[in-house]
Amino acid sequence: MTARKIVVALGGNAILANDASAAAQQRALRETAKYLVKFIQQGDSLIISHGNGPQVGNLLLQQAAGSTPENPAMPLDTAVAMTQGSIGYWLQNAMAAELTALGLEMDVATVVTQVVVDENDPAFGAPTKPIGPFYDHEAVTALKAAHPEFHFVEDAGRGYRRVVASPRPIDVVEAGAVNQLVNAGVIPIAAGGGGIPVVRREHELAGVEAVIDKDFASEKLAERVGADQLIILTAVDHVYVNFNTPAQRRLNTVSISELQQHIADGQFAPGSMLPKVEAAIEFVTHRPEGQAVITSLSNLGEFIENGSGTIVSVVNAESSV
């Protein structure tokens, strides 16, 4: 098999479940690394991106609780950078340990990644991106009273979450550096948490209060580095239409046009499967010779060995089951 350049996008919730301790997140990443090294074993070049929704939300709450005039809380773009560093630190050590255990000598490096957005993006006037944990009605009422500047929404019947602006990415500042690392045989961890949101102002980059969707940022990174494949990991092995109904149907190999029709039919939940599907469409649109895949972390072995997952291409062969 010809070596490919692959971007794998991990969700923040795959790193943090119910236990928010550092030890628990490090354990989760050690398990994650066992799946990711399979790409290295088959000779591919790997770039890892990841979400940070739970982590950055928790960090903001910790900062708000301890903020004083002498020791003020950091802004959201800086909090994203902080979680890029902490998650990258855990993940690069987990990957290095797994590679060493398999007798593979490779370096892993975290790149503090800035992602450019448009300062006039309408998303800044309509916060939609969930960050942090879920709250019940009583807890969110208390948080609103303490932090009237925060915005909260009900999230899929699971409780309430804080939401912030989520502008679309238009460029990845460090894409060239990521490619240089890949060419040098290093595994980069990049665009963590969707990247640090910045805008271009004359000759400078300025951070803004936002969180970029990890799937769109991963797509932009994959596009900019010329990846052959973008793999977006989620909670399910495949994308489905009529999800959780008797008419549920699994999508295997699917075309852009078919997915666009499903989007028009309202098949995919905003803030959940929809951005993953839209990111997959965007990647294949910009890289028609490439391939986008949506599947779960636990299904990666099946995908590598048997092609199991939802595979998005310009035109489809077999569509659904």
Q: Tell me which residues are annotated as active site.
A: 12-13, 129, 214, 276
- Indicate the length of the chain as a whole number: 321
Going by C-beta distance under 8 Å and a sequence separation of 6 or more, which residues neighbour residue 43?
A: 1, 3
Of 135, 128, 134, 167, residue with least CA distance to 151: 128
DSSP for 250-274, please give it. Answer: EESEEEHHHHHHHHHTT-S-TTTHH
The beta-carbon contacts of 298-305 under 8 Å, at least 24 apart in sequence, are 298/35, 298/237, 299/237, 300/35, 300/36, 300/38, 300/231, 300/233, 301/35, 301/38, 302/237, 303/231, 304/38, 304/39, 304/42
Q: Which phi and psi (to 5°) does residue 295 adopt?
A: -160, -170
71 burial via Cβ count (<10 Å: 0-12, 13-18, 19+): exposed
Going by C-beta distance under 8 Å and a sequence separation of 6 or more, which residues neighbour residue 283?
A: 219, 222, 223, 227, 230, 290, 292, 312
Structure tokens at 123: 């998303």
Strand 239-241 with 196-201, pairing: unpaired
Helix, strand, coil proportions of the chain in percent (round to 5)?
Answer: 40, 25, 35
DSSP tag of 292: E
Distances (CA, A) of 210 to 65, 128, 199, 306: 20, 10, 11, 39
Rg value, the chain, Cα: 19
